[in-house]
């Protein structure tokens, strides 16, 4: 079975190597790891002769009608909370992702900035941070797209002039738009940048690994968003039975409990989150996300972002 995946290394090891492969040791697995945009482009180009069987992670509401997925509803779908059920027939929800800032403490101090002052979207407009902020490309990274949606929602709304003025100011402050979500948090950890606009799970992994004095995870004062992420079977997959088995596995209580113990939040919120390093959701300010609007207007929003971005290149 060939898995195309956007998951970060620890998540892949936990769910695939320690979970699925341990349960089904006779299934030979090959994987291709890349950003969501790159993988979806690849799947489209391979449509006549699919090389992958499943897309593991990285899919959002707007991907349901891409025309590149096989219709399949997991046998465990009814055990999920109603909001996390496969209503489209294509997307099997696996995790919930929160957006956050990731701060390198030493790099901030070296730039003459109090690391604790980087606590909000507004704090990113500090001139001392010019050229020291990294963000993945919202057109190719699903987590970066979610961050853009979060910024707009937190700053007044998707069509709000004030929200787009903020995006303009942020880009004017020399934000570096990187190639992938992993490059974003890794380069902050390495001290190449002071701040990354990124997502929760890999950042928590650093802190869980004892790096909490080196890096800080910050939920923005204005609020963050909780976005569900899904997996799907690639249309015409050559190993269809295994692909269906995989969807049944990732939505099972067994796999969801693995996620609940990890730094990624599980989609099945009927189960308790058991990782002590994850902040309780009730203590995090959330902004509302209009998934239907975002799905229908993604291209328009990305075009507007690109229009602003090129001004500063």
Listed residue (252, 180, 150, 197) closest to 6, CA to CA: 180
Superfamily of chain region 2-96+227-278: Periplasmic binding protein-like II (3.40.190.10)
3-state SS string over the chain? CEEEECCCHHHHHHHHHHHHHHHCCCCCCEEEECCHHHHHHHHHHCCCCCCCCEEEEEECHHHCCCCCEECCCCCCHHHCCHHHCCCCCCCEEEEEEEEEEEEEHHHHHHCCCCHHHCCCCHHHHCHHHCCCEEEECCCCCHHHHHHHHHHHHHCCCCCCHHHHHHHHHHHHCCCEEECCHHHHHHHHHCCCCCEEEEEHHHHHHHHHHHHCCCEEEECCCCCECEEEEEEEEECCCCCHHHHHHHHHHHCCHHHHHHHHHCCCEECCCCCCCCCCCCCCHHHCCECCCCHHHHHHHHHHHHHHHHHHHHHHC
Using one digit for the tens of pLDDT, what is the confidence trace for 245-289? Answer: 999 999 999 999 999 999 889 999 899 889 999 998 889 999 988
pLDDT in tens, 177-200: 988 888 999 999 999 999 999 999
- Say yes or no to pLDDT of 73 above 90: yes
Q: pTM (2 decimals)?
A: 0.84
Model pLDDT, residue 35: 86
What's the pLDDT score for residue 61?
Answer: 87
Q: Mean pLDDT throughout 111-140?
A: 97
Q: How far apart are CA 66 and CA 137, in angstroms?
A: 20
Between CA 248 and CA 156 the distance in angstroms is 39
Domain ranges of the chain: 2-96+227-278, 97-225+285-312
What is the rounded CA–CA span in Å between residue 144 and residue 99? 9
Structure confidence at residue 19 (pLDDT)? 96
pLDDT of amino acid 280: 87
Confidence (pLDDT) at 292? 87
pLDDT of residue 101: 99
Decide yes or no: CATH 3.40.190.10 for domain 97-225+285-312.
yes
Q: Which of 69, 18, 67, 60 is nearest to 36 (CA)?
A: 60
Average pLDDT, the chain: 95
- Write down the pLDDT at residue 174: 95
Question: Would you say the CATH fold of 97-225+285-312 matches that of 2-96+227-278?
Answer: yes
pLDDT higher than 90, residue 114: yes
């Amino acid at each position: 079975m060939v898995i195309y995946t956007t998951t970060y290394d620890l998540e892949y090891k936990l769910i695939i190597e320690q979970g699925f492969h341990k349960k089904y040791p006779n299934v030979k697995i090959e994987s291709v790891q890349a950003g969501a945009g790159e993988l979806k482009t690849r799947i489209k180009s391979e449509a006549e002769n699919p090389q992958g069987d499943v897309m593991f992670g990285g899919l959002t509401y707007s991907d349901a009608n891409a025309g590149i997925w096989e219709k399949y509803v997991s046998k465990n779908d009814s055990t999920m909370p109603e909001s996390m059920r496969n209503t489209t027939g294509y997307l099997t929800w696996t995790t919930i992702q929160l957006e956050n800032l990731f701060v390198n403490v030493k790099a901030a101090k070296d730039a003459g900035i109090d690391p604790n002052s980087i606590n909000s979207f507004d704090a990113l407009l500090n001139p001392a941070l010019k050229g020291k902020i990294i963000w993945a490309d919202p057109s190719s990274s699903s987590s970066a797209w979610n961050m853009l949606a979060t910024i707009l929602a937190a700053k007044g709304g998707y069509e709000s002039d004030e929200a787009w003025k903020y995006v303009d100011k942020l880009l004017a402050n020399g934000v570096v738009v990187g190639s992938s979500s992993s490059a974003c948090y890794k380069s902050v950890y390495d001290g190449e940048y002071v701040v990354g606009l990124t997502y929760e799970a890999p950042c928590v992994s650093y802190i869980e690994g004892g790096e909490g004095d080196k890096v800080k995870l910050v939920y923005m004062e204005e609020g963050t968003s909780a976005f569900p992420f899904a997996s799907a079977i690639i249309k015409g997959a050559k190993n269809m039975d295994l692909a269906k088995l995989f969807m049944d596995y990732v939505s099972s209580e067994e796999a969801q409990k693995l996620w609940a113990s990890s730094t990624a939040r599980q989609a099945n919120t009927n189960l308790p989150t058991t990782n002590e390093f994850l902040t309780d959701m009730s203590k995090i300010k959330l902004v509302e996300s209009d998934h239907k609007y975002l799905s229908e207007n993604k291209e328009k929003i990305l075009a507007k972002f690109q229009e602003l971005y090129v001004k500063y290149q």
